[in-house]
Every structure is written in C-alpha cells, then in structure tokens.
Amino acid sequence: MTAPLLAIEDLVVSFPSNHAPLHAVDRVSFALKPGESLVIAGESGSGKSLLCRSILGVEPETAKVAGRLDWKGKSLLNLSVAQWRPLRGAEIAMIFQDPTAALNPLLTVGRQIMDVVRAHRKCSRNEARSRAIEVLGTAGLPEPEHRLTSYPSELSGGMRQRVAIALALSAGPELLIADEATTNLDVSIQAQIVTLLHDLRSKLGVALIFVTHDLDLAAEVGGELLVMYAGQPVEMGPVDTVLADPCHPYTRGLLRSAPTARSSRRTPLRPIPGQAPKLGAVGDGAPFRDRCPVLISGLCDRSRPGWTEAGPSHRVACHRFEQDGRDGLT
C-alpha cells in the first residue's frame, strides 16, 4: 500500500452569514494515491468547484475551510504564501474551464511556460526552453517548437486549452485538478484531451481530480466517482460500478435525464423535477429531499443520511437505500 498523496476528511467549506454559517461544501472525504483518478460530478451549486479551489488554497476570502486536508501527510490548511509557493503550480496544478483566464494574452506561450519552469527549478534558459517544448508535446500540441513564439490569441480554443494543460504540467505536478476543463470544447478535442489525461496518469503517475457535470464523460475518464449534490457527497465508488448500478435517487435521476449516445425519442427523458436548493437552504435533512421520488417523510427532512455500503468500495448516503436497499428505489 502506497501512502495517499491527498487525504481529505470531513472537509467543510462555509460562508459566514447572519444566522448559522452556510455550508457550501459539507463533509467531503476521499483519498488519492499517485496515478489514481477521482471524478467529481455535480451540477452548478453542488460545491464541486469550490472544493477544488479549497484544495489549492484559492477559495474566496470570505470562505472558511475546516476538516482535514493533508498533502503527503502535512496539512494544507492555514499555510502562508511562502509555504504555498513550492506546492501550488509545482506539486498541485489546476486547469480551469476557461483557458484564456489562465494565460497572459501579452506574453508568448513559450515565455509563460519557461517562466513557470524557472520559478520552480534552477535551470538555464535553454533547459527551460527544451522543457517547454517537451510539455507542449506531452499536451498534444503539434509542432511544439514553432508554438513557443505564438501568442494565446493566435491559437484556437482547443489549442489554448492544451497550452493551459502544458502550463499546468510544466513544473511536473503530482496532482492535476481539471475543473470542467473540457466543457466548452468540441467533442473530438474533448476526446483527445481525455486520452491525454489517461496517458499522464499511466506514464507519469500523475494523480487526477476531474470535475464534470457529464456522467458519460466521467465514464470515459474512469477511476473513482464522487457525486455531489448541494455541497454534500451523495454517492461514491468506481465510475463504472456507480454508473452501472446507481444507488442514490439523484444519481439515478441524472442518468435518466441525460440522453445517451443511443437514446431516441422513443425512450423519453425523465427530468428531475424542481430546482437545486439555494446555498444554506438544505438544513439538517437529506439534501435531495425536495426533488426525491422515494422520500421517507419524517426521516429525510429531519436527519442527514450517513454512508451505506452498496457493494465493495461503493457507498451511498440515502435513507431509502439504507432501509429498503435497491428495491426501494425507482
């Protein structure tokens, strides 16, 4: 057993308010070893982006992070700027949904990558240059040596996202966090980037956190799946197990609402009725209770469900599942 790189336990990210603090991420736990991947799936407001930002210590200033957040056995909470420097970008790197936000429009691609390389490692300009070419090649950019002198505006969206990935890889991170990194890209480029992420894991042993709202894409990425709703983890397990045998009503609802590669109008979609609750509106009960088809009244609105085993390393937080198992679900 190798020790986990990242260990998170009962992580809570909250915002102060007049009344009780609002929990935007509520008691999330997971661990990640080198080469492993975790897909976090959820919709807007599920807290998935905030969770990623908290790992990198870039949550909004008003947010309060509590719980255990350990990187290689040392806590990442309350680090100073100087303590973050050797970690952020170097050991843990992040790719955002919008690559233009991560790139400086006034500097060439090569200059930006070389800056990052030299900020984290003592080396000559030439070494930095060859490293830049190497990572651009790894990120799947054709003719990387010619791209060094390009400005971000001269590249297409897919190319720009690859540069952003190269930038994230340049200091040789051990954990890569991709926050909706392929959401705005064309399907063919999305597929290429997912393949690239597979390669990074198998060849370089990079651990991956992949955030998405697309469960089909989650299946392509593979690894563990963490489904979040309204800031709370509701189901967790290996991606293909969870998708083949979803045991939380929300996961089931999500899978039924999205058309698959093979569905047609003859198999009507069954959308989840209603809307996701506002931040802080969840209270003590099960987070999904207002939209749940298999609600247990009197229980789900009073107490938050704990984890129930649904199979080997497959866990579900649902009162109905705890009581009736798979038969209780629709």
Partner 1 sequence: MTDAPILEAIALDKVFRVRRKGAPHDIHALKNVETQLHPGETLGLVGESGSGKTTLARILIGIEEPTRGEVRFEGNAVRSAEGWRELRRQVQYVFQDPFTALCPTMRIGAALAEPLAIHGICPKPERKDRVAKMLGLVGLSADMAGRLPYQLSGGQRQRVNLARALMLEPRVLICDEIVSGLDVSVQAQVLALLVDLQGKLDLSLIFISHDLRVVRYLCDRVQVMLLGDTVEHGPTAEVFDDPQHEYTRKLLDAIPDRDHAARISKSALQYG
Partner 2 sequence: MNETMLDTGCGPRPARRTGYLRRHEIGPGLALGGVLVLAIVLITLAAPFLAPADPYAPNLMSVRQPPSAEYLFGTDAVGRDLLSRILYGAQISLIVAGLGMLGSLTFGTLMGMLRGIGPRWVGPIVDRMIDIQLAFPYVLLAIAITSAVRPSVPVLIVLMVLSGWAGAARVVRAIALQESGKDYVKAAQIIGASRLRIAVFHVFPSVWPSLAVLAAMQTAAMIVFESTLSFLGMGVQPPTPSWGGIMLEGKNYITTSWWLTLLPGLAIMLTSLSLVLIGDGLDLRAKRLRQRAAQT
* Residue ranges that bind partner 2, judged by CB under 8 A: 15-18, 22, 24, 43-50, 53, 58-60, 62-63, 97, 180, 183, 213, 279
Choose among partner 2, partner 1, none what residue 191 binds, the Cβ cut-off being 5 to 8 Å by kind.
partner 1
Strands 22-32 and 92-95: unpaired
CA angle in degrees (0–180, nearest 5) for 249-288-16: 150
Q: Please name the residues in contact with 46: beta carbons below 8 A apart, sequence gap of 6 or more.
A: 228, 229, 230, 231, 276
- The mark string for 167-196 relative to partner 1 (x by CB under 8 A, - otherwise) is -------------------xxxxxx--x--
Q: Which of residues 202-221 bind partner 1 (CB under 8 A)?
A: 202, 213-217, 219-220
- Gap between the Cα atoms of 92 and 82, Å rounded: 15
Identify which range of 91-99, 100-108, 172-180, 261-269 contacts partner 1 by CB under 8 A: 261-269
- Gap between the Cα atoms of 191 and 194, Å rounded: 5
Among positions 263, 283, 306, 311, the unique one binding partner 1 when judged by CB under 8 A: 263
- Gap between the Cα atoms of 314 and 253, Å rounded: 18
Q: Say whether residue 258 binds partner 1 (CB under 8 A).
A: yes
Q: Least separation, in Å, of the C-beta of 65 and partner 1? A: 25
- Gap between the Cα atoms of 220 and 230, Å rounded: 25
Residue type, 193: I
Q: How far is CA 52 from the centre of its chain?
A: 6
Q: Within 10 Å of residue 191's Cβ, how many Cβ atoms?
A: 14
Report the residue number, 96 or 321, with the smaller CB distance to partner 2: 96
Q: Which of residues 49-108 bind partner 1 (CB under 8 A)?
A: none
Q: Say whether residue 269 binds partner 1 (CB under 8 A).
A: yes
Q: Least separation, in Å, of the C-beta of 29 and partner 1? A: 17
Q: What is the CA radius of gyration of the chain?
A: 21
Binding site for partner 1 (CB under 8 A): 33, 35-37, 43-44, 157, 186-191, 194, 198, 201-202, 213-217, 219-220, 222-224, 239-240, 243-244, 253-254, 256-265, 268-273, 275-276
